[in-house]
Amino acid sequence: MTNPATTTQQGGAIPAQPGPREATGVTDGAMPGTKPAAGVHGVVSGGQPGRIGGESGALPTENAAIPGLGSSVAFGPGHVPGAVIPGAGPSGKPGSRPTVKLREAGPDDPPRYAPEWLELREPADASARAHDLLDPLRIRLANLPGKSGVVIHDLGCGTGSMGRWLAPRLDGAQHWILHDRDPYLLHFAAVSSPRSAADGSRVSVETRRGDVARLTPDALQGASLVTASALLDVLTREEIDTFAAACAGAGCPALLTLSVAGRVELTPSHPLDAELVQAFNDHQRRDGLLGPDAVTAAAEAFSEHGATVRLHPSPWRLGPEQAALTEQWLRGWVGAAVEERPELRAEADVYLTNRVAALAAGELRVTVHHVDLLALSRPAGGAS
């Protein structure tokens, strides 16, 4: 979410559409209280490029593609076989990681996440997210005052997979406000958003480009829900405290999915597994980021602000059926571990070669543990 006092952006409100052709020129669809459309697709052209967190993906099936992007496994023309897609692992520059490049981002910086990576991981994300957290969320949203629908802020939306997963699982009219630094990703998020809720009610979408780190209760005024995926583990403790305080001040619940838990299980096991897990976790904690400690810190922060917090495991379960994603994750995971501990390189190179071969032979399975968090802040006005 951006700070309205420091950001000049404003995306238009548009009805969600299945593709660019149908979205072109559409300017209606805003729910009462939202701003009218400012342009085609509602993708923000101005504003301050800023900090984002999170991921997302493309379309909900393995063989689908984001409109205008192409096949979910057809990487860009410059992709080198065996290379790590941006977002899946280290950037290749010492001390810099695409997955946590949040600070001092300039307008010419490349995107943190390649759309191909986001699209590749979307089916695994959708399968992993915790359905058990949806019933308490539905109850809270159903008890909101007024009947005009809900307003949902998706922070670090990427290409919009959270909206594609969640909107069709909630009843009632919805207006999604999608936040990301990358206008390219915002475009895909807007044109591939769902058009209807679970009960057939209308879903509309608005995009905003800018800084989502400095959340305040005022910035969340009117929000019914804040969502994000893979956001918490790329925040500092101070940022999580600020986030929790903002949600509590606005009386707004938060559904935060797919935060890394610091545990990975590979079958068959290997003596180097434990060292790589530890090195990767240390890599995630660079620059004061919380990495695998983030969910615990967030649960504590929301609880201290009076929210009821629920946690639920949301593991990726990868194997030959998700071979492309599994290989990209494996290369990125090992690459981050080696970047943290260069002395592991020789062993890790052999390890990676053998693991990729086992995957190709259908003999490798991986469980990457995540945790989903639902924080139900007390509604504004003091109601319980």
Residue 344 lies inside a defined structural domain of this protein: no
When pLDDT is cut at 50, 70 and 90, the band that residue 41 belongs to is: very low
Contact criterion met (CB below 8 Å) for 194 and 164: yes
Residue 384 lies inside a defined structural domain of this protein: no
DSSP character string of 129-185: S-GGGHHHHHHHHHTSSSSS-EEEEEET-TTTHHHHHHGGGS-S-EEEEEEES-HHH
Residue 362 lies inside a defined structural domain of this protein: no
Residue 310 lies inside a defined structural domain of this protein: yes
pLDDT in tens, 25-37: 222 233 223 332 2
| Residue 270: φ, ψ to 5° | -145, 145
- Give me the number of domains the chain comprises: 1
Distance CA 178, CA 165 (A): 14
pLDDT value, residue 109 = 52
Which H or E element spans position 209?
Answer: strand 203-209
Residue 104 lies inside a defined structural domain of this protein: yes
pLDDT value, residue 101 = 34
pLDDT in tens, 94-115: 333 333 333 344 445 544 567 7
The arithmetic mean of pLDDT across residues 300-327, rounded, is: 96
Check which CATH number belongs to the domain holding 53 and give it: 3.40.50.150
pLDDT in tens, 226-240: 999 998 998 999 999
Bridge partner list, 366: 266, 318
Residue 355 lies inside a defined structural domain of this protein: no
122 closest CA partner among 176, 158, 170: 158
pLDDT in tens, 184-208: 889 989 999 999 999 999 999 999 8
Residue 340 lies inside a defined structural domain of this protein: no
Distance CA 185, CA 206 (A): 13
Residue 361 lies inside a defined structural domain of this protein: no
**What percentage of residues in the chain have a pLDDT greater than 90?**
55
For residue 18, count CB atoms less than 10 angstroms from its CB and return exposed for 0-12, middle for 13-18, buried for 19 or more.
middle
* Selection from 107-116, 208-217, 337-346 with the highest mean pLDDT: 337-346
- Torsion angle, alpha carbons of 367, 369, 374, 375, to 10: 180
Q: By residue range, what is the domain housing residue 23?
A: 13-260+292-315+371-376
When pLDDT is cut at 50, 70 and 90, the band that residue 8 belongs to is: very low
Contact criterion met (CB below 8 Å) for 58 and 65: yes
